[in-house]
Structure 1
Amino acid sequence: MTTHRELVAWSAAYCGRAAEAFGFEVDLSRVEWEVSTRAKRRAAAVKRPAVEDATVGTPRSWNGRVPTCTVSLTWAAFESFSRTEWTATLRHELVHVEQFQRFGTTDHGDRFERRASAVDAPVRVRRFADAAYVLSCTDCGQVVARRYRDCKLVRGHETYASSCCSAPLALDERT
């Protein structure tokens, strides 16, 4: 695949096959698709409207009209993942879609973990990009945080202390 349109078409078609093969209870006609070239930490995401008082485990009545959600695919993740890893990522996102359509919200809790295991999907998808900034404890060297962009923590790292040793943070810029 060489274009965003091809990635969306292939991924949506795969999700249709996976929904049938793994028994996902999803209405894919209520899913929109997009590609992100900006994301650095997430391989994909389900963007959804906030539903008041929604709780995973409490089914919602949508009165016949499930809200639309959007599956956002990250181009850089697609390029760095094997086909097997990419399809597992898509199944991970299908678990989110299934939870949202059933409960009005989604999370990575126990229900998610059980469902992800049943469909051979990871609970956490691996990082595909290196952080631009790595902060570590100056006493024990433990990595405390990774940041992909300049932020308050990066700019003022010397004013923060590690949670492991309460020591100052060292900044390693990898840009």
Structure 2
Amino acid sequence: MTAPAYDEIATHEDLVGWSRDYCKDVRREWLVDVRFDLVEWEVSTRAKRRAAALKRPKIPEAEVGTPIDWESTTAAGGRRADGRPFPATLSLTWDAFDAFDREQWESTLRHELVHLEQYQHCGTTDHGSAFKARARELDTEVHCETFSDPKYVLRCAECDALVARRYKDCKLVRRAEEYRSSCCQAALAVE
């Protein structure tokens, strides 16, 4: 099945098809070392804050920057005998796709490819220094753009810099006066 043009995406299947094709192009053009035969794709209509996510098994001994020996790795009660990584799922959020323009969506996909590459090589992923360096190489952000409005916005009371967004009531929101901004060491204001 041929994926539709970006502006013709109308179904979850269309979104997966177009996104998969785009990721394959990125793999070739930007030399991203990933295996798509070990990736499942899905579309979420429930996610409210994340534009996409890489769902993967947790491997306790895995560490970003340390290549993993998949033949001796266990997770989720099983072991791969063939040395291939455990499959991962790239979950795409329909509301984010709907809210973003094409450039934002492509950046989101490149961000997830950094996670996939780290996972397939190291058995885990994070947003640390290795991620930041690879994100720069792929011209993407370390944190994906938000597509929904937070319930609470916390700002520095001194310079009005954004400190945090929260989508539900939490300790930081309830006790904001106990925290200080990293920019000015000033109190936090909750909007």
Q: TM-score, normalised by structure 1?
A: 0.82
C-alpha displacement at 1:151, in angstroms? Answer: 4.6
> Which 5+ residue runs of structure 1 have no aligned equivalent?
none
Give the distance between the partners of 1:12 and 1:143, measured in 2 at CA.
34
State the superposition RMSD in angstroms. Answer: 2.3
**CA separation of 1:152 and 1:60: change in aligned 2, threshold 3 A:** same
**CA separation of 1:157 and 1:96: change in aligned 2, threshold 3 A:** same
Q: Identity rate of aligned residues, in percent?
A: 51
> 2:65 aligned with 1:57, yes or no?
yes
CA contact (8 A) 1:43 1:125 kept: yes
Deviations 1:124-165 (A, max 9, x none): 2221211123355778866654221345655x458x633247
> 2:175 aligned with 1:162, yes or no?
no
> 2:141 aligned with 1:122, yes or no?
yes
Aligned partner letter, 1:134 = V
Aligned residue number for residue 37 of structure 2: 29
Aligned residue number for residue 43 of structure 1: 51
**CA separation of 1:161 and 1:87: change in aligned 2, threshold 3 A:** same
Secondary structure in 1 matching 2:103? helix
Give the distance between the partners of 2:167 and 2:34, measured in 1 at CA.
33
Aligned residue number for residue 108 of structure 1: 127
Aligned residue number for residue 3 of structure 1: 11
Aligned residue number for residue 83 of structure 1: 102
Give the distance between the partners of 1:84 and 1:141, measured in 2 at CA.
29
Give the distance between the partners of 2:40 and 2:17, measured in 1 at CA.
11
CA contact (8 A) 1:157 1:171 kept: no
**CA separation of 1:38 and 1:137: change in aligned 2, threshold 3 A:** same
Aligned residue number for residue 78 of structure 2: none
Q: TM-score, normalised by structure 2?
A: 0.76
CA contact (8 A) 1:40 1:148 kept: no
> 2:80 aligned with 1:66, yes or no?
no
> Which 5+ residue runs of structure 2 have no aligned equivalent?
1-8, 72-82
Give the distance between the partners of 1:9 and 1:140, measured in 2 at CA.
45
Aligned residue pairs total 169
Q: Which moved more, 1:145-154 or 1:12-21?
A: 145-154
Deviations 1:90-144 (A, max 9, x none): 0110010000000001111121111111122222222121112335577886665
